[in-house]
Structure 1
Amino acid sequence: MAQTPSKQQAKRISARERIQEAQRIEQAASKRRQRIVVAVSAVAVLALAGGAAVAINSASGKKDSKAAADASAPTELVVPANASGPGGTVITYGKADAPHTMEVYEDFRCPVCKHFEAANGEAVKKLTEDGSIKVEFHLAAFLDNALGGKGSRTALAAAGAALNEGVDKFKQFHDVLYANQPDERKDDFGDVNRILDLARQVPGLKTDAFVKAVTDKTYAPWAAKVAEAFNGSGVTGTPTVKVDGKPITLFSGQSTVTPEQFTAQVKQAAGLK
């Protein structure tokens, strides 16, 4: 016959449960700080190599599309100059007629994308220099839905304003955003003033037209369309890189691959020496 715990035993059990719950919450927060990427679908986090979470599962993308909407933004779709791809949802960096294509899938709020850019952003740029490879950026905004706020879509709309100024301006602004990415628990990119302040770091970007486009959210409908295109791409996590359709390994254990390793993979996928 089972014995009923005494009040003292019950208190010990209750205290132990509270400690266990506190530990569980702290472990979850710690994982999030260590580049955890929150699942957008009903299921939880997809963990990879050595427990480091580097991919995001996305369901149908319906919630993401809603997250990409902004009630205060204009409804008229304005596609920035220099946009490419179906419906102008792709940003092509490098020579448009390059025989090989590197597809880069990212979200400006994705902390793992920041690690990838810090480690291999310069390698990506160098690979375009001889004209054999072009880069196609496919940008997302699902982390607003997962983390709350509007930083992904605000940054994406501002990137559209930068693209309208020129592809090189976009790339420089893209790099500045990742170099200054806030903690994923904060929504600093949702502040237009913060975005405009960062734009100062790109020489010649902060024109009257750029400031007006960012302030008026001119490219917010375009950003929503770009995010929707990402949702329909079949890519389930960021960052993702493909070369001529072949996936590139971006992480080894809990670290990003080196520029040398990354470059070697890209050249092999493209059949380049």
Structure 2
Amino acid sequence: MSALTDNTYRLLRAQVTGATDRIVKLALFETVSEVCRLSLSIDPPTDPLSDFAGWLDDDQWLKNHTLVIAGTLARLYAMPKRPWSDIDTARVNKEQYDTLLSYARADAAEAPNIDPTARLLGSIRSRLPGAKDSQTRLALFDVLQEACQRGRIWTELVPFRLVPGKQVFSIAQPGARIVMLLNAQHSVLGMQALNYSDEKIAVRTDIATLNPADLLYLTMALAPSLGADMENPATWMPGDIFASKYTLLLHGVLGAMMLQTAKPYSNTALGQYHTQIYSRELNAAPLTDRDGGLPTRQRWRFPRFA
């Protein structure tokens, strides 16, 4: 998670011109300490001079980095008589921090073993008074489609056995649609030996000449099937993605629904706020997606989605 913590720190430095590393790190330390006490219910870090990447574990950084950024910026901008002092910007970040902290504390109070899909939907429902469950599920489905298409939040490494005499085979995945082929691995075949059409792969090389024990591994970006059961979101995709992308999906749905007009939960300002966080998380998602252990994978987009 060093890439995420490094990016978090660089973002803070870029926002606060003129602040020294010592000042930024101390504000970051104070924010993380408060989050540990008020939200995570864990012992806060004790040494502000230590490596900040170790103040939280990887999962805690992933789930709370937006909260930590808002709190740290609020502290920095509120400092008096500094080149970067800005009380209005400090107030905006403090409001965002307080909102995110209240969300985090409410989520932490829920049963720890609750199904991640139910937890996400429960969090959305509690923040959208008057919203129907069917509306919430539809908004979540739409956000998932965009996050999978643009952010590639769902990737799988799938092995295929090449059968002599069968030059064309299906790579369709049950309950999912293929968004993009990210990588192909085989002891002999390269990408130039493969053609794609209608969720099928055609192998140009005669498979009979290959070692049948060598598997073809395809890393694919997936999205929930458009024919998914809309009444049962837990079947749309693996539960661990609902858990790891909780913040992304929560803000995406809240932003989309609060920006709707003439609804009990309509709130343009708060909807824009949630949408901004969602967009930021979405842009960062491809950097931390489940890549099947292939961080240098080839970005080969299917022609029909080009």
Question: Into which bin does the TM-score normalised by the smaller protein fall?
Answer: under 0.3
Larger Rg: 2
Q: TM-score, normalised by structure 1?
A: 0.25
Q: Give the structure-2-normalised TM-score.
A: 0.23
